A = this chain, B = another copy of it.
Amino acid sequence: MKRKITLKDIAKELGVSISTVSKSLKDSAEIGDDTKQKVKAFAELYNYKPNNIAISLKNRRTKNIALIIPEIVHDFFATVIRGAERFANAKGYNVIVCLSNESFDKEVVNIDTLAHGGVVDGFLISLSKETQMRNDFNHLIEVENQGMPLVMFDRITDQVLCDKVIIDDSRGAYNAVSHLIEKGRKNIAIISTKDYLSVGNLRTQGYIKALGDHGLEYNPDLVLRIEEMEECEEPILELINNHKIDAIFAVNELFAVTAMKAIQAKGKNVPKDVAIVGFSDGKLLKHATPSISTIEQRGDEMGRIAAQMLIKRLQSEKEEESFSTRVIKTSLIERESSK
């Protein structure tokens, strides 16, 4: 690789000291105007850019932040990246994206490498499924102990003290179910995830509360908890076949479209026979036929706020001891599936 031009090169070329060059480029008052001009012109000419690695070493900070997500082929997380990246870049930070692939081990390895290696200044993380299941957060607690700021988003745990960004899962679900009730639906099922997933759990709670508040009976048989995303078809089919249902609230995109397909395959009509509301505003729901109503889940907003919280902490000198949790509001997007 061709060597990039350094301060030393400029100094030698112009017959001044390295310090002079450094200070000139920073427009220090210590240096005479003509020298400054000369140095700047030369630097410009040779397209000098300071070596960030050296600066990182000196300043003990890298201006990199890690963003750890469980899965990337997922509109929601993709928009989180977009939001975080945009904000961070504007503040002069690079985002290093890491995938845990829902694996505890990979999450740990990622964090370890980046934290101890001094590669990043802080972390943005959404927990992997496995981590939530194992309920083991030592790797995160250690990050905190090292004094590295950490912001958790979406899939969080209250066992780690740090800044957090979540959406109002429970209230979002509540609104979705209320909407279905207002449309006259009485037998509303929910397709959710296993309880150890914070998000699925909260949404189920919102579902139950909405039923209660509207004087509908809560029937546990209508609560389906899917274990494996990839094998959701069968249990969904079973739910639909064995119960009299006139509406479904699905906690994610995949469950919603799979449910709709199953219903349509039975010759029933959506929304006439069964109405559907999903959660998270991805392409799948928008482009389904009929299009599926959903609770909007602003991933970019979440990414932006998470990055903001992290960078704020990185830039404040004093170690702020109180942590805050930001809750992002959701709103209902009405589409054809719940007309």
Contact = CB atoms under 8 A, between A and B. Distances in A.
Given A72-B82, A284-B287, 15 more contacts: A1-B60, A3-B60, A4-B118, A49-B112, A50-B117, A52-B119, A64-B119, A73-B75, A78-B78, A89-B98, A94-B114, A96-B96, A258-B287, A261-B289, A264-B289
Interface string A36-78: 0000000000010111111011001110100000001111001
A2 interface: yes
A108 B85 CA distance: 16
B53 A118 contact: yes
Interface of A: 1-4, 47, 49-54, 56-57, 60-62, 64, 72-75, 78-79, 81-82, 85-86, 89, 94-99, 112, 114, 116-119, 145-148, 254, 257-258, 260-261, 264, 283-284, 287-289
Contacts of A89: 98
A283 B97 CA distance: 22
Contacts of A147: 1-2
Nearest to A54: B57
A121 to B, nearest CB: 8
Given A94-B96, A96-B96, A283-B283, A117 B73 contact: no
Contacts of A260: 289
B47 A57 contact: no
Contacts of A99: 81-82, 85-86
Given A1-B146, A96-B96, A283-B283, A47 B116 contact: yes
Contacts of A79: 72-73
B4 A146 contact: yes
B62 A72 contact: no
A51 B118 contact: yes
Contacts of A146: 1-2, 4
Contacts of A264: 289
Nearest to A85: B99
Nearest to A142: B47
Contact of A97 (B4, B51, B95): B95
A3 B146 CA distance: 8
11 contacts: A1-B146, A2-B145, A49-B112, A53-B118, A54-B118, A72-B82, A73-B79, A85-B97, A261-B289, A264-B289, A289-B289
